[in-house]
Amino acid sequence: MQTVLETKNVIKNYRKTKAVRNLSIKLEENTIYGLLGRNGAGKTTLLNLLTGHKFPDSGEIKGFGKTLNKGDSLQEICYIKDNHQFFEESKVIQLLNFAAPFYEHWDWNFANELLRQFELDPNKKFKKLSRGMKSTVGIMIGLASRAPITIFDEPLLGLDAVMREKFYDILLKDYAEHPRTILMSTHLIDEISKVVEKVMILETGSIKLFDDMDTIRNKSYFVSGKSDVVESILKHKNVIHKDQHGKITIAAVFNTMSKQEIMEAEELELSVEGMSLQKFFSYYCMGGDKHE
């Protein structure tokens, strides 16, 4: 698959804060990426660097194989930020009219359909929209742009569960018909696990994990049962968290377990269950999610 965006040894500091540390990643065409990380992990900084809104202190950023110099930004990118800088006095339809010419693949039929689906009055002024409605304006522009690379920074802030489901459904349907690269940073981890194909976890400016969603799903398990049996079966496995309840241990494992190993565990009266991405993220990054 073609690489559409790439960073090589990118560093970005804000005075003493090392926001992005020596980061090298490749984003491929026609893939949906989820960008995860705790507050302050460097997600927004990375997105700003990829989109030319910020320039690295050192390292290189390439779009479609070409190095981006200071001030360059790719026409192929649509970047929707969480802090909407839209003109407050403008009506929704004026904002769409303003955005459309920037994007070669903009689809007005789709934009109008999105207005209907998200129940937005095109003649309402942006400043009079609720927080969630403001987010839907960004979402609509991001989707209708059909940009080869669409980047959303926390697109779902303020959206209720119904609207968020609507977004995931529309995104997946449209992506199936018009494949492109979509990179989305979010804290709604379980929700996006249904949508993303690859997951990137940032921790203090570095990549902690970059893997296929399916691989993560297939490698993350809870194994529970009598403590000594759990301990013996997991001796050589990557246990990322353990909980002890009397004589019972519940272990969170991030490792491949073969069908044979699962069968053997079950024969020893252990239970082996899948783990949600949220749980995996918590255990993998935070050493437990007891404070959720």
Ligand X SMILES: Nc1ncnc2c1ncn2[C@@H]1O[C@H](COP(=O)(O)OP(=O)(O)OP(=O)(O)O)[C@@H](O)[C@H]1O
Residues at the site binding ligand X, with contacts judged by CB under 6 A? 14, 17, 19, 37, 39-45
Residues in the chain: 292
Shortest distance (Å) from residue 45 CB to ligand X: 3
Strands 181-185 and 66-67: unpaired
Q: Which is nearer to ligand X, 224 or 282 (CB)?
A: 282
Q: Which is nearer to ligand X, 42 or 142 (CB)?
A: 42
Shortest distance (Å) from residue 38 CB to ligand X: 7
Shortest distance (Å) from residue 41 CB to ligand X: 4
CA atoms 273, 277, 281, 284: torsion sign: positive
Q: Which is nearer to ligand X, 3 or 22 (CB)?
A: 22
Shortest distance (Å) from residue 180 CB to ligand X: 23
Q: Which is nearer to ligand X, 8 or 21 (CB)?
A: 21
Shortest distance (Å) from residue 184 CB to ligand X: 13
Q: Which is nearer to ligand X, 18 or 242 (CB)?
A: 18
